[in-house]
């Protein structure tokens, strides 16, 4: 918890500094990651090779994952892409006004818990757009769950959008942008791809992942 509070406080300080000084937000985000001890494999040559549309997925055990994804976007990807992210209504109401003050390229999509046609809505809104990123977490919750949502797989197949796994290892403090790929031929294959990527990195709360919880149960 202390680690998260330090990270959140540092993020607020850095973004406040940007608002008042108009210093490059990309520079500030890169310095913030350095300040917090994180390294990553993202550079200009990698970004240039990426397609114009991407779905970025990652394991999600804490709000920390979202903040790191946000910093990666503003530090490295904003110049090339608009960004879309699904967010629960209660969080969207808080974050949307704040983010709109910083950048109109960052777009939140409000998720209605009672609406089971969210993926259809996303596909309809994005089918004629280009140069965008969608951030999605297949777990759909920070709690431990064995039910992975296949919305990102459906969107990838429907719109022919590549998938990239963003690996965040909280033990080694490494952030890895994996090679972009097409969605698996069926959901079973895609689910295995996702879990295989997850297993390469230690999340902040590994006991919240059904594929690692039994291993870490005795050591945490």
Domain range list for the chain: 39-217
Among 20-34, 123-137, 196-210, which is the least confidently predicted range?
20-34
Give CATH for domain 39-217: 3.40.50
**97 pLDDT more than 80:** no
Question: Helices (H) and strands (E) in the chain — how many of each?
Answer: 9, 7
Buried b (16+ CB within 10 A) or exposed e, 192-217: ebbbebbeebbbbbbbbbeebeeeee
pLDDT 10s digits, 22-74: 557 788 889 888 888 999 999 999 999 999 999 999 999 988 888 898 889 98
Q: In whole angstroms, what is the distance from residue 59 CA to residue 203 CA?
A: 7
Provide the mean pLDDT of the chain: 84
Q: Are 211 and 195 in contact (CB under 8 A)?
A: yes
pLDDT 10s digits, 137-195: 999 888 999 999 999 999 999 999 999 999 999 999 999 999 999 999 999 999 999 99
**1 pLDDT more than 60:** no
Structure tokens at 50: 């990426």
Q: Are 54 and 136 in contact (CB under 8 A)?
A: no
**13 pLDDT more than 80:** no
Q: In whole angstroms, what is the distance from residue 34 CA to residue 31 CA?
A: 5
What is the arithmetic mean of pLDDT over 11-16?
61
Structure tokens at 192: 């295995």
Order of all β-strands in the sheet with 106-111: 39-40, 174-177, 162-169, 53-57, 132-136, 82-88, 106-111
């Amino acid at each position: 918890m202390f680690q998260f509070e330090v990270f959140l406080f540092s993020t607020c300080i850095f973004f406040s500094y940007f608002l008042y000084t108009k210093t490059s937000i990309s520079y500030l985000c890169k310095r913030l990651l350095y300040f917090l001890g994180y390294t990553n494999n993202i550079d200009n040559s990698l970004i240039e090779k990426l397609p114009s549309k991407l779905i970025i997925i990652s394991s999600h055990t804490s709000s920390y994952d979202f903040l790191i994804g946000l910093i990666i976007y503003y530090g490295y990807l904003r110049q090339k892409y608009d960004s879309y992210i699904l967010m629960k209504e209660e969080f969207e109401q808080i974050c949307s006004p704040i983010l709109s003050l910083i950048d109109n390229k960052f777009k939140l999509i409000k998720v209605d818990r009672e609406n089971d046609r969210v993926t259809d809505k996303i596909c309809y809104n994005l089918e004629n757009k280009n140069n965008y990123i969608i951030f999605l977490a297949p777990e759909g919750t920070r709690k431990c769950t064995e039910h992975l949502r296949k919305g990102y797989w459906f969107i990838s197949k429907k719109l022919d959008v590549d998938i990239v796994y963003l690996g965040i290892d909280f033990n080694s403090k490494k952030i890895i942008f994996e090679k972009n790929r097409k969605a698996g031929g069926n959901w079973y294959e895609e689910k295995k791809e996702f879990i295989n990527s997850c297993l390469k990195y230690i999340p902040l709360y590994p006991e919240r992942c059904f594929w690692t919880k039994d291993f870490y149960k005795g050591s945490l």
